[in-house]
Chain A
Amino acid sequence: MRSFIFVCLLGFVLPSFAQQATTSITPLSDRLVSYTIKAELNPDTKTIKGTQRLTWRNPDSVPVDELQFHLYLNAFKDDKSTFMKESGGVHRGNSASSENPWGGIDISSMRLADDEGDLRPNLPVGSGLDLTDSIEFIHPDDDNADDQTVFLVKLPRSVAPGETLALDFVFESRLPEIIARTGWEIADSGEPFFFVGQWFPKIAVLEIPGQRYVPKDAPKGEWNAHQFHANSEFYADFGTYDVTLDVPESYEVGASGIKVEESIQNGIKTLRYKADDVIDFAWTASPDFLEYTQQWRHVFIRALIQPAHKGQAQRHIDAAIVALERYDEWIGEYPYTTLTVVDGIGDSNGMEYPTLITAGTTYGLPTWARVLELVTIHEFGHQYFMGLLASNEFEEAWLDEGMNSYIESRIVDDAYGRGSVIELGHFKIGDIAAQRLGYVKQKPSKGALITKSWEYTMGDYGKASYAKPATVMNTLERYWGWDMQQKFLKAYYAQWRFKHPSTRDLQDVAEQVSGEDLDWFFDQFVYGTAVVDYAIDSISNTKKEDDSYSSRVRIWRKYDGIFPVSIRLTFADGSVQDQSWDGQDEWKDIRVAGPSRLVEAFIDPEFDVLVDINRLNNRKVVADLASNQFARQVQFRSITFYQKLFFVLSGLF
Chain B
Amino acid sequence: MSLHYIKSGYDSARERPALSAIVYVGNLIMGLILSIPVFIALSTATSESGFSGDMAGEFDLALWADMLESSGPLLQTLVSQLLWVLPLLFVWKMASSAGLIHAQSEGGGRSFWTGVGRYTGKATLLGLLFMVPTVVVMVVVVLIATLLSGVLTGEVGSFWVQFVFTPIALFLGVAFIDMMHDFGRIELIVGKKGVMDSWLAGFKWPLHSSNANSIYIGWMVLGMIFLILPFMLDVSMGGLFLAFIFQQILLFGRAFITVGWINSEVAFYEDTVPAAVELDETEGLDA
Contact residues of A between 342 and 364, Cβ < 8 Å to B? 362-364
A98 at the B interface (CB under 8 A)? no
Complexed CA–CA distance, A438 and B242 (Å)? 35
Contacts of A643 in B (CB 8 A): 27-28, 31, 251
Count of chain B residues with a beta carbon within 8 Å of a chain A beta carbon: 70
A581 within 8 A of partner (CB)? no
Binds B, one of A81-89, A512-520, A621-629: A621-629
The answer, yes or no, to whether A586 is at the interface (CB within 8 Å) is: no
- B1 touches A (CB below 8 Å): no
Stretch at the interface among B3-11, B54-62, B274-282: B54-62
Is A631's CB under 8 angstroms from B46's CB? yes
Q: Which residue of B lies closest to A637 (CB)?
A: B239
Known contacts A615-B66, A629-B52; is-contact A429 B47 (Cβ 8 Å): no
Q: Contacts of B66 on A, CB cut-off 8 Å? A: 614-617
Other-chain contact of A640, B63, B131, B223, B244 (Cβ < 8 Å): B244
Distance of A159 from chain B, by nearest CB (Å)? 51
B93 on the A face (CB < 8 A): yes
Chain B residues, CB < 8 A from A652? 134, 174, 178
Task: Write out, one digit per residue, whether chain B residues 206-236 have a CB within 8 A of any chain A CB (1) or not (0).
Answer: 0000000000000000010001001100111
With both beta carbons as reference points, the residue of chain A lying nearest to B58 in the complex is identified as A426
Rounded to whole Å, the gap between the CB of A554 and the closest CB of chain B is 14
Contact A639 B28 (CB under 8 A): yes
B35→A642 contact, CB < 8 A: yes
A614 and B227 CA atoms in complex are apart in Å by 37
Chain B residues within 8 Å of A617, by CB: 49, 66
Q: Are B61 and A433 closer than 8 Å at their CB atoms?
A: yes
Q: Is A574 an interface residue (CB 8 A)?
A: no
Contact in complex: B244, A434 (CB < 8 Å):
no
A602→B50 CA distance, assembly (Å): 8
Residues of A in contact with B, size category:
35 or more
Does A425 count as interface, using CB distance less than 8 angstroms?
A: yes
User: Is B53 part of the contact surface with A, judged by Cβ < 8 Å?
Assistant: yes
Q: How far is the CA of A636 from the CA of B41 in the complex (A)?
A: 14
A200→B48 CA distance, assembly (Å): 62
When each residue 581-623 of chain A gets 1 if its CB lies under 8 Å from chain B and 0 otherwise, what string results?
0000000000000000000101000010000001111011101
A646 and B30 contacting across the interface, CB-CB below 8 Å: yes
CB distance from A307 to the nearest CB of B (A): 9
C-alpha spacing A620/B47, complex, angstroms:
9
- Compute how far the CA of A631 lies from the CA of B51 in the bound complex, rounded to whole angstroms: 11
Residues of chain A within 8 A of B34, CB atoms compared: 638-639, 642
Closest Cβ of chain B: how far from A499's Cβ, in Å?
37
Nearest CB on B from A12, distance (A): 45
Considering the complex, give the chain A residue whose CB is closest to the CB of B46. Answer: A630
A residues contacting B by CB (< 8 A) are: 188-189, 306, 308, 362-364, 424-430, 433-434, 436-437, 440-441, 600, 602, 607, 614-617, 619-621, 623, 625-644, 646-653
What are the 3 closest A-B residue pairs judged by CB atoms, nearest first? A188-B154, A642-B31, A425-B235
Subset of 6 A-B contacts with CB under 8 Å: A363-B155, A437-B65, A634-B39, A636-B239, A636-B244, A642-B35
